[in-house]
A and B are shown apart, each in its own frame.
Chain A
Amino acid sequence: MKRIRAVAMGCSAGGIAALHDILPALPANLPVPVIIVCHSGPAATDLLSAAIRRDCRLPVAEAQERSPALPGHIHVAPPDYHLLIEPDGTFALSAEERIHNVRPAIDALLETAAEAWGEELLAVLLTGANEDGAQGMAAVKAAGGHCIVQDPSDAVADVMPRAAIARGAADWIAPLDRIAFLITSLCQDSRP
């Protein structure tokens, strides 16, 4: 397995609590960026950042267009824009149509991240009540990347993880309390 260079993570219903279980458990020396799309209302990103920033060892900030994804940073998609990854690993935003009736959409992040990082991408799909993310996870797999899906029986809403698993896009199906460990070991093991 090649060195992981980025983690892209998506969640929807129940996602904020799930993120709050995962992100504070990530070590301060995580050698890769963590990029997050969480479906939420227009004002909810601040809420999200505030809720997780306090307890995280990694800096948490909204992804800025044209800025690079930084190792050891948690970047959150701004509300009401799709968050895309440019081929050079910088962020781009888009106000295009909603996908699965949501903006930001997990599919848009994962598909472009797959194109940018290919087999060096680790994608994580958590709880959610719609099918956003399944296509993106399939794109990550197709590009040779690696996929962790939250165990549906462990998720607040199981539609999203189930859809990804149905697409054959899960390398690991893990309960919430194992995901931070899995991310950490996959990223640390693959350090140069």
Chain B
Amino acid sequence: MPSRSDGLRALEVDLFVEALARRHGYDFSQYAKASLRRRVSALAQSLGCATIADLLPRVLHDEALLPAILSTLSVPVTEMFRDPLVFRAIAERLLPVLATYPRLNIWQAGSATGEEAYSLAILLEEAGLLQKAQIYATDINDTAIAKAEEGIVSAEHIARYEDAYRKAGGNKSLSHYFSQGYGFAKISSAIKDHISFAHHNLVSDGVFCEVNMVVCRNVLIYFDKKLQDHVLGLFGSSLSRGGFLCLGLRENLGTSAHAHQFMAVDHELRLFRKAGGSQ
């Protein structure tokens, strides 16, 4: 059995999670434990708390701390064109199908600081579809949403993303979509105007519109099976007939009660299609 100190840490994390849920309404109890414990420990450390239990009075009494807590717990780590072959497949195989629709709604769930939403919008622009498209990029972390709204990343990052952008089939230079100065790069408003960043909690909020594609990559890995199942149900209800679902490269529909709703377009790249659409 794990040592007593590990058991104690588990107890402290459970108490913290319960305090956060009951005090602020953010329920992390169905998040996978290992990664959550690491992040709660990191939070305690960053706030100068000697133990996780020392976080409890802070989470209960310090209202202003909530954004920092959510920023740490919700894994706001993202890159542009991560897994470029996925983006290439979306551009080459999914967008031609989506192009036949008069309007195009896309839900990117767990958008963090927006890099993936920008990537999608750039793909749509290069396919000539951006004008009739709207991307709803949602997250539970308002700090990340605010940063995504700003649309500013370091110029150094743009240089690093160029390679992935080209592997994704990009035919310009990524910097074409950014105005740069003072070491920073700002996404062009022509791109950003087609993205609505909004608060949405996959744990507690319901379906908010009908969409033709859901992109939710590397979010389900942080959830336990029950919550994964709930979220897949949410995606199933949001998607129009024949709509697409894009998951992270190591995420599966698994034994979800909703798995039958989807068929694989490309299992390797985790691209699925909601049953009932025209082939």
On A, residues with C-beta under 8 Å from B are: 64-66, 78, 81-82, 84-87, 92-97, 108, 111-112, 114-120, 142-144
* Surface stretch bound by A, among B86-94, B96-104, B153-161, B249-257: B249-257
The CB with the most chain A CB atoms within 10 A, among B9, B32, B248, is that of B32
Q: How many A-B residue pairs have CB under 8 A?
A: 80
Q: Which of A84, A95, A142 interacts with B34 by CB under 8 Å? A: A84
Cβ B77 vs Cβ A95 within 8 A? yes
Q: How far, in whole Å, are A111 and B202 apart by their CA atoms in the complex? A: 28
In B164-198, the 8 Å CB interface with A consists of none
**Is B222 interfacial (CB 8 A cutoff)?**
yes
A–B complex contacts, Cβ < 8 Å, 23 sampled: A84-B32, A84-B35, A86-B34, A87-B34, A92-B32, A92-B33, A92-B35, A92-B222, A93-B221, A96-B39, A96-B77, A97-B77, A112-B38, A114-B2, A115-B2, A115-B9, A119-B2, A119-B3, A142-B3, A142-B5, A143-B2, A143-B5, A144-B3
A26 to B228, CA, bound (A): 36
Q: How far is the CA of A116 from the CA of B1 in the complex (A)?
A: 8
Contacts of B141-162 to chain A: CB distance below 8 A: none
Q: Which of B34, B39, B252 contacts A115 (CB 8 A)?
A: B34
B207-222, CB under 8 A of A: which get 1 and which 0? 0000000000010011
Q: Which of A84, A87, A108, A115 gathers the greatest number of chain B CB atoms within 10 Å?
A: A115
Q: Is the CB of A65 within 8 A of B251?
A: yes
Q: Are A119 and B218 in contact (CB under 8 A)?
A: no
Interface contact B3-A94, CB-CB below 8 Å: no
| A78 and B75 alpha carbons, distance in the complex (Å) | 19
What is the CA–CA distance of A106 and B35 in the complex, to the nearest angstrom? 14
| A86/B32 contact (C-beta < 8 A), A93-B250, A94-B221, A108-B38 known | yes
B4-34 contacts to A (CB < 8 Å): 5-6, 9-10, 32-34
Would B225 and A66 count as touching, CB distance under 8 A?
A: yes
Tell me which residues across on chain A come within 8 A of B32, comparing CB atoms: 84, 86, 92
By beta carbon, the residue of chain B nearest A116 is B2
CA gap between A82 and B75 in the complex, in Å: 13
Give per-residue flags for B94-133: 1 if the beta carbon is below 8 A from chain A beta carbons, else 0.
0000000000000000000000000000000000000000
Considering only CB atoms, which chain B residue lies closest to A109 in the complex? B34
| Residue among B2, B32, B34, B75 with max Cβ neighbours from chain A (10 Å) | B34
